[in-house]
Amino acid sequence: MNVLWDGSGPLTVAELATRLPNPDLAATTLLTVLSRLEGKGFVVRHKVGRAASFAPTATREEHVAETLRAVLADAADPSAALAHFVGGASAEEADVLRGALRRRRRD
């Protein structure tokens, strides 16, 4: 996913292979992983003739936010978990959170 997120657009299997830390992975292995990611809704396949390219369905930041929401939903006490999270935030992170809450109130 990091390679797709760092890309400037949809990537083919061959393009992905050259950007991976282990470029020796077989194209069929990459295609299997991409197909599974597509099935889970993480990537979308773009077909052009017989060729296919893949792109993430969400940005890295959107994915992280959705993961945080899922973790909070799984917590026995989501309010306490969120309070612990905020309690461990740095001053800079707290400023970002305050700004996001102000924007949300305006909207």
Q: Is 106 helix (H, G, I), strand (E, B) or coil?
A: helix
Tokens standing for residue 69: 């929401």
Give the helix/strand (H/E) hosting 38: helix 27-39
pTM confidence score: 0.80
- CA 40, CA 57: separation in Å to the nearest integer? 10
Q: What is the pLDDT of residues 12-42, one digit of tens each?
A: 999 999 999 887 889 899 999 999 999 999 9
Q: What is the pLDDT of residues 73-101, one digit of tens each?
A: 999 999 999 999 999 999 999 999 999 99
- CA 94, CA 92: separation in Å to the nearest integer? 5
Give the helix/strand (H/E) hosting 77: none
